[in-house]
Amino acid sequence: MANPKHYVVLEGLGAGKSDYTIQATGDIEKVGGRLGGLPVTTGPADQVSGSTADGTVWGKSDGYRIYGGIKSISLENPDHVQVHMGTIAGEPDDDHGDLCEVVVRAEKVEFISGQGPGEGALELDIEHDIRGGQSEHTSLRLPTGSTRNLGVAIDNFKVPRSGSEPKTIVTKITEREPPRDWFTGTPDEGSEPVDITLACDNPQQVTNTVPIDSDRGNPGKVKVYYTIDDLDD
């Protein structure tokens, strides 16, 4: 069998479940351990037959290696699943030399300031946008002074082992009052870039503190923690 060319990770979000079907142009292999920077599990409910995989994802993640191209991914409950896809580095047909694959992840968010005492949690919409790459959105409610784990894989990049590649993450924050609070204000927003360097065998943690402008005279700050590391298949 030839080497796998792609991977698919289906990450379950919160409570609930979703059935899914993956179809490819070649064989599909269910794997455990880590894939695409995420821990993945195997279970008897997930079935693979040649180029088709059928399964159910709950609160963890299911991972597959694809020997060929990805034809389709069907989800019963798309709101419950975050789909991560990428190529697997080091293939014989790769004409870029000796490469590693580096994943950029948003690991944690810290709401430093932006809400007055007793005003409750705010709704935060966070966009992690890698220039020249992909972006991911995260939505959550968080009171001032609190921290929340994210664990979101944003994008994967092939990087020469003998070099490095600069990238920029633009973190965009939209902050708004929950509708059931005493009043609903217009959303407050902020955006801040941070430069990162992708390199093999060089794990890093980078933070980006985003100032939030407010038309109510109550500016805030949100800090997002990112990690950059090799994929461990």
Q: Where are the domains of the chain?
A: 6-87, 101-230
99, 89 contact by CB (below 8 A): yes
Residue 141 has pLDDT above 90, yes or no: no
Q: What is the reported pLDDT for 222? A: 92
DSSP label at 81? E
Tens digits of residue pLDDT in 31-85: 988 887 788 988 777 899 999 999 999 888 999 999 887 888 888 888 888 888 8
In CATH, what number does 101-230 get? 2.60.40.150
pLDDT of residue 185: 54
Nearest to 158 by CA among 78, 86, 82, 66: 86
- In the structure, what pLDDT confidence band is assigned to residue 134 with cuts at 50, 70 and 90? confident
Cβ of 69: how many Cβ atoms within 10 Å?
Answer: 12
Reply yes or no on whether the pLDDT at 159 is more than 90.
no
177 pLDDT higher than 70: no
User: Per residue in 185-230, pLDDT tens?
Assistant: 567 889 999 999 998 888 999 999 999 886 666 678 999 999 998 8
pLDDT score recorded for residue 180: 44
**Residue 92: what pLDDT?**
43
Tell me: the pLDDT tens digits for 8-46?
998 888 888 999 999 888 899 999 888 877 889 887 778
Instruction: Please spell the DSSP secondary structure of the chain, one letter per residue.
Output: -PPP-EEEEEEE-SSS-EEEEEEESS-EEEE-EEETTEEEB--TT-EEETTEEEEEE-SSEEEEEESS-EEEEEES-GGGEEEEEEEPSS-TT-TT-SEEEEEEEEEEEEEEE-S-TTS--EEEEEEEEETTS-EEEEEEEE-TT-EEEEEEEEEEEEEETT-EEEEEEEEEEEEE--TTSS--PPPEEEEEEEEEEEETT--EEEEEEEEEB-TTS--EEEEEEEEEEE---
Q: Specify whether the CB–CB gap between 155 and 196 falls below 8 A.
A: no
Rg (CA), the chain: 20
**Mean pLDDT value across residues 111-128:** 72
pLDDT: which is higher, 87 or 214:
87
